[in-house]
Amino acid sequence: MSQSDTKTRILDGAEQLFAREGFHNTSLRTLTSLASVNLASVNYHFGSKDSLLQAVIERRLLPLNRIRQEKIETVLAEAQEISALPDAEALLRAFIEPTMEFRNSSPGARDFISLIGRSLSEPDETVRNCFMDLALPILQVLFAALHQALPQLSPAILMTRLQFIMGTMSHVMCMSSHAVFNNPERPQPLDDNALVEQLIKYVLAGLEAPE
């Protein structure tokens, strides 16, 4: 097995266990058994459990952040070309569509979403802080772009509404396929494309509402 294969197996196993058992409840012994590696391999590639957590989150989040930033920059550039304000809906779409598409991007994406969703509700801040440190740059980009698009909103109101948007999107990411919403007595869930469109319409209305 090559070193890259070993590293991937460790990352895959850690992602699965952290999501399902929790970061602190996952022992390195359980991880090495699941990944079919030895403890020396974990130490060689990552050095510590905290560094492994950082690598797990970076592997998924940094590529997603690059996609979202490129799409936001495209919206800004197009607005600048015609000397217009950026379109708020286009900016939301640039952020939300890649995020929602991520759910089906790989076999481990759902575990990653569960890991982050779990971190947002648990008292321990280890995973949450790691995630927020890596998410903050793209959130700052989005905030600055929306501030250009909606100059009538005060920064405090815009920031608050952006927090509402993140909360709504996180809920949809984690709960849209949950069994409680999928039973014969309830309306059938929307497909992914329709879900994204409804999410954008919903958060856009709140974002653009008068103060």
Counting as low any pLDDT under 50, the low residues of the chain are 179
Taking residue 68's Cβ as centre, other Cβ atoms within 10 Å add up to: 21
Q: What pTM was estimated for this model as a whole?
A: 0.90
Place of tokens 């740059």: 137
Does the domain spanning 60-208 belong to CATH 3.90.550.10? no
Using CA atoms, how far apart are residues 65 and 52, in angstroms rounded to an integer?
A: 20
Q: What angle do CA 193, 195, 196 make, to 5 degrees?
A: 65
**Torsion over CA: 36, 40, 43, 49 (sign):** positive
Predicted local distance difference test score (pLDDT) of residue 2: 61
| Pair 65, 138: CB distance under 8 Å | yes
Q: What is the DSSP string of 64-100?
A: HHHHHHHHHHHHHHHHHHTT-PPPHHHHHHHHHHHHH
- Convert 182-209 into a string of H (helix), E (strand) and C (coil): CCCCCCCCCCHHHHHHHHHHHHHHHHHC
**pLDDT given for residue 210 in this prediction:** 94
Domain positions in the chain: 60-208
pLDDT at position 184 is 63
- For residues 160 and 57, give the distance between their C-alpha atoms in angstroms, rounded to a whole number: 25
| Amino acid 137: pLDDT | 97
Residue 25 is encoded by which pair of tokens? 């409840």
Give residue 3's pLDDT. 63
pLDDT score, position 65: 97
